[in-house]
Structure 1
Amino acid sequence: MKVLTIAIPCYNSASYMHRAIESLLIGSDDIEILIINDGSKDNTSQIADEYEKKYPNIIRAIHKENGGHGDAVNTGLKHATGIYYKVLDSDDWFDKNSFIKVLDVLRGMINNSQLVDMVIANYVYEKLSIGKSTSINYKGAMPEEKIFTWDDIGFLKISQNILMHSVIYRTEVLRSCNLELPKHTFYVDNIFVFKPLPYVKTMFYLNVDLYRYFIGREDQSVNEKIMIGRIDQQIRVTKVMIDSYNPMLIESKKLRKYMTQYLTMMMTISTVLLLKSNTEENLNKKEELWDYLRTTNENLYEEVNKTILGKLMQIDTSIGRKIILSGYSLSRQIFGFN
């Protein structure tokens, strides 16, 4: 059995997938790289097959009909033989030195029969067009290089949300929660992280900048204009998260607080994008989304409404909208996203 499976969902990724794959080739046979060709129309398929032929003990090329990013992640999970599972988007890459350290830690856990449910490492926003890199770490919030539980976690700032870029799940945790991401939907990485959290009992944090998250392609899903154009998918993902979480069923107060914070962030993103579009249709969608939370998950709505962001996002005045949008612009400048 492999130590770690890395799934690389690829759709028309021929021009940049090499960097992602090459960043994983560190001479270790106990990793498994699954190149998931999601019905690409360019020569992604050929490139994947060439890598499999060159590295048959490490790389498998899996070809499937187009189902979107989430369906490619599902396919990777179905085929994974690694004890741990990680997703690497085809336009991103790993820092090799950090990857070596992460693998050493995973091997040590396996050898000592001390498997944890979730391993966390830093990620870096790589905005190459302006030469800016921003590392997102969890210093001060998580104990470093020791096994811990939710009760050991300190205050997680909004910038310290646990994202797909930072998380490595034990494969059986993902399978035990029946994780199944929706097809043909963007932003499902939030479901990937969020839904398994109640199944996570033990964690381990490495303060290394492993995942390099590329920002800058015009067709990128986190491009603001594209996000507004795909706002219905953002809302769909947020509703799936609402439906999957009842705070009253979570014993750990810190986990409950964190999951509520995460859901509040998702509501905030949808609200901001709907306000920025400033169409009557989208302003109505904002009201509908908050009504959905209020009517389908009353306990969760009450928890979200206790937060400053939760209250702020529901202010339906011109001044309130200006405050929301100004805060969003400032966050973009500080953290360098999209």
Structure 2
Amino acid sequence: MSEKILSVIIPSYNSKPYLDKCLASLIVPDRMDQMDIIVVNDGSTDGSEAICQDYINRYPDSVSLINKENGGHGSAINAGSEAARGKYMKVLDADDWFNTESIPEFLDIISGASADVVLTCHHTINISTGEIKNWRCFPDEPGREYTMEEVMGNWKNFDRSLTFHGITYRTEFYREHGVKLAENVFYEDHEYATYPCCVAHTILPLGLFIYEYRIGDVSQSVSAENQLKRIDHTKMVIVKMLKNRVDITDQWALEYCDKKIHLLLLSFMVTSMLCDPDRKKGVARVDQLMGYIAKKDRHVVEMTMSHYKILKLLNAAHVGLEGYNRMLNSKLYNKLRHNKSFD
């Protein structure tokens, strides 16, 4: 039996319309002996596990199914990471898919790699508009290992791949740091992209596009409506990330943690201050959380204060999310921020 190189963990909850496409994208007939595909059925009620069983019948040594009570996306990743047999592990949501053509090269590279974290590129595919964006990193020397100090010193060269969709963990590294993601909450993927990535000694950026991320569906957790409805979930994840930070002592690990908490806090602020019809309530919600964070990690508040002031002005001017996004997507804004193109 060949060594398993890559474990792909697929959290699945009522994913029947998407799961077949997701699983089919992972099938590379002459490389299945190196693949470990784990579908974690998180208490589905739509019979989607039958789709997985068909793949198990065809590839019994490569595809497996874990049935568990519903505990949320994080609990499914927790269960899958415990069962993973691959040298590296990557999470793939059941309504997304992989770029099948890139899998053989990816397997070849990681089979000889030793980095704690491997970064790959991904696409976002907006099913409403048809827009496709390229999310990639821009290392000065592609294919060599970087330290966290180097990454933090050149943040915008790496940040678009330091995400849930871009990160692949060395399985033993992930387990060594005892990661247990928040359960029964949404948006714990921010936690996954922070811990244990922050303590990685070696980070290997690649130019391969692996993950295809489906967006633009109003039913998704990332839609503005659902983010506002679940704003307390975002707050819970921020609070847990602050608690996880306490035991970290390395300077660059702390810098990375603070950057990721800052970015999630910005998302919380945008949702609360620009999406809530009750504008005063939105600001009060942000002020309460900022006060809490100031007692735990003053640096994050300092990083966020200029954004807070701008968003408070936009809130007072009754600018909504659409207007804010137009500003972010403007050529002038991106030029001033020295942001990379999505082309």
Interval containing the TM-score (normalised by the shorter chain): 0.7 to 0.9
Q: Which residue of 2 aligns with 1:14?
A: 16
Say which of 98, 101, 105 aligns to 1:101.
105
Q: CA deviation at 1:159?
A: 5.9
Rounded Cα–Cα distance in structure 2 between residues aligned with 1:5 and 1:332? 36
Q: What SS class does the counterpart of residue 40 from structure 1 fall into? A: coil
Deviates more, 1:182-191 or 1:281-290: 281-290
Rounded Cα–Cα distance in structure 1 between residues aligned with 2:169 and 2:186? 21
Rounded Cα–Cα distance in structure 2 between residues aligned with 1:51 and 1:100? 19
Rounded Cα–Cα distance in structure 2 between residues aligned with 1:188 and 1:336? 28
Rounded Cα–Cα distance in structure 2 between residues aligned with 1:181 and 1:321? 36
Conservation of the 8 A alpha-carbon contact between 1:122 and 1:137: yes
Q: Which residue of 1 aligns with 2:165?
A: 165
Q: Which residue of 2 aligns with 1:112?
A: none
Confirm whether residue 51 of structure 1 aligns to residue 88 of structure 2: no
Deviates more, 1:197-206 or 1:232-241: 197-206
Look up the equivalent residue of 1:139 and give its one-letter code.
Answer: F
Q: CA deviation at 1:329?
A: 4.2
Deviates more, 1:241-250 or 1:188-197: 241-250
Rounded Cα–Cα distance in structure 2 between residues aligned with 1:310 and 1:194? 22
The 5 Å alignment of 1:180-195 reads 180-195=180-195
- Matched pairs, number: 324
Confirm whether residue 24 of structure 1 aligns to residue 44 of structure 2: no
Q: What SS class does the counterpart of residue 128 from structure 2 fall into? A: helix
Q: CA deviation at 1:155?
A: 2.0
Residues 156/324 of structure 1: CA separation in 2 closer, same or farther (3 Å cut): farther
Q: Which residue of 1 aligns with 2:228?
A: 228
Rounded Cα–Cα distance in structure 2 between residues aligned with 1:209 and 1:101? 11
Q: What SS class does the counterpart of residue 210 from structure 1 fall into? A: strand
Identity fraction in percent: 27
Conservation of the 8 A alpha-carbon contact between 1:173 and 1:199: no
Conservation of the 8 A alpha-carbon contact between 1:161 and 1:262: no
Q: Which residue of 1 aligns with 2:238?
A: 238
Gaps in structure 1 of 5+ consecutive residues: 110-114
Q: Which residue of 2 aligns with 1:86?
A: 90
Q: Which residue of 1 aligns with 2:336?
A: none
Confirm whether residue 331 of structure 1 aligns to residue 328 of structure 2: yes
Q: What SS class does the counterpart of residue 148 from structure 1 fall into? A: coil
Say which of 28, 33, 37 aligns to 2:41.
37
Q: Which residue of 1 aligns with 2:5?
A: 3
**CA-to-partner distance for each residue in 1:190-212, whole Å, 9 max, x for gaps?**
11111202331011111121111
Q: CA deviation at 1:311?
A: 2.8
Q: Which residue of 1 aligns with 2:308?
A: 313
Q: Which residue of 1 aligns with 2:337?
A: none
The 5 Å alignment of 1:119-268 reads 119-140=118-139, 143-153=141-151, 154-157=153-156, 160=160, 162-246=162-246, 249-252=249-252, 255-268=253-266
Q: Which residue of 1 aligns with 2:300?
A: 304
TM-score of the pair, normalised by structure 1: 0.88
Rounded Cα–Cα distance in structure 1 between residues aligned with 2:47 and 2:341? 32
Conservation of the 8 A alpha-carbon contact between 2:148 and 2:198: no
Q: CA deviation at 1:146?
A: 1.4
Look up the equivalent residue of 1:11 and give its one-letter code.
Answer: Y
**CA-to-partner distance for each residue in 1:136-188, whole Å, 9 max, x for gaps?**
11114x63111221233352239626111000001122212211112211111
Rounded Cα–Cα distance in structure 2 between residues aligned with 1:210 and 1:331? 26
TM-score of the pair, normalised by structure 2: 0.87
Conservation of the 8 A alpha-carbon contact between 2:135 and 2:161: no
Q: CA deviation at 1:318?
A: 3.8
Conservation of the 8 A alpha-carbon contact between 1:122 and 1:135: yes
Question: RMSD between aligned alpha carbons?
Answer: 2.6
Residues 317/223 of structure 1: CA separation in 2 closer, same or farther (3 Å cut): closer
Conservation of the 8 A alpha-carbon contact between 1:8 and 1:89: yes
Q: What SS class does the counterpart of residue 227 from structure 1 fall into? A: helix
Rounded Cα–Cα distance in structure 1 between residues aligned with 2:254 and 2:239? 18
Rounded Cα–Cα distance in structure 2 between residues aligned with 1:185 and 1:329? 30
Residues 315/324 of structure 1: CA separation in 2 closer, same or farther (3 Å cut): farther
Look up the equivalent residue of 2:53 and give its one-letter code.
Answer: D
Q: CA deviation at 1:51?
A: 1.4
Look up the equivalent residue of 1:99 and give its one-letter code.
Answer: I
Q: CA deviation at 1:15?
A: 0.9
Rounded Cα–Cα distance in structure 2 between residues aligned with 1:274 and 1:161? 26
Look up the equivalent residue of 2:270 and give its one-letter code.
Answer: V
